[in-house]
Amino acid sequence: MTAGGHFIFALASTIFAKKLELSPPLAQGNWGHIIIGGILTCLLPDIDHPKSLLGQRLKWLSIPIAKLFGHRGITHSFLAIAGCSLLLSSGLLSRTIIPIEFIHAMIVGYISHVVADMLTPAGIPLLWPYRRRFCMPILNPSKYPKWERIFCVLVLVCAVLYPFDILISNKLWITDSIQNIWQWARNVMI
């Protein structure tokens, strides 16, 4: 996925995280902190690629990581998500002037990148160091580059329009069974 796609997807992810109240700090936090926090880390997993937007600016860090782990290696795994989450939520940062909702949004931004890359045919090594790549290849940026941007914008529109039940119940006729499935899925997510 391109840097632009990651920015849009991270914006949508942080909006969803706030609206779904994934954590009390996200639910009660400042929108500005949450949006900036999510966007700030959305390119961080690509630090393992010296030609990425972030890798070009931090070559001194990017080149050694790329040589040790390769692109879409450890930085695109559960291990990196857990490490990033532990580092960000440790008492080290929370004792500073950084708001806790900003830190939670940074974690959402990092995860959004990993999820977005999982949507491409190349996939990600989610269980690194196990090399199997996990993917749900609904995007193929090399064959259909514009589809990635359209998809990300559609996800952003959905995030802005959430809760969908207001949109659905006021604008569209749907069966009770579909509404029941939606309510069940919403309860599971919350």
Distance of alpha carbon 179 from alpha carbon 134, whole angstroms: 31
pLDDT in tens, 25-81: 999 999 999 999 999 999 999 999 999 998 899 999 999 999 999 889 999 999 999
Residue at 180 is within a domain: no
Phi then psi dihedrals of residue 137, to 5 deg: -70, 75
Domain total for the chain? 1
Nearest to 62, CA basis, from 43, 90, 85: 43
Q: Specify which residues 85 forms β-bridges with.
A: none
pLDDT value, residue 163: 79
The amino acid present at 142, given as its one-letter code, is S
pLDDT band per the 50, 70, 90 thresholds, residue 181: low
Residue at 181 is within a domain: no
Distances (CA, A) of 68 to 24, 49, 65, 75: 37, 11, 5, 11
pLDDT value, residue 167: 46
Residue appearing with tokens 């972030």? 54
Residue at 109 is within a domain: yes
Residue at 98 is within a domain: yes
Neighbours of 78 (CB within 10 A): 13
Distances (CA, A) of 139 to 12, 21, 73, 148: 17, 28, 20, 6
- Tokens in use for 68? 């040790």
Residue at 104 is within a domain: yes
Residue at 170 is within a domain: no
pLDDT band per the 50, 70, 90 thresholds, residue 168: very low
Top-confidence residue, 90 or 171: 90
Distances (CA, A) of 21 to 29, 86, 163: 10, 20, 12
Mean pLDDT score, 5-20: 94
Range of the domain at 116: 3-162
Mean pLDDT score, 129-134: 91
**What pTM, to 2 d.p., does this model score?**
0.82
Mean pLDDT score, 160-176: 58
Residue at 185 is within a domain: no
Alpha helices in the chain (DSSP H): 3-19, 24-28, 31-40, 53-57, 59-69, 78-89, 91-94, 100-118, 145-161, 164-171, 176-189
The amino acid present at 186, given as its one-letter code, is R
pLDDT band per the 50, 70, 90 thresholds, residue 92: low
Residue at 182 is within a domain: no
Mean pLDDT score, 91-99: 69
Mean pLDDT score, 140-146: 82
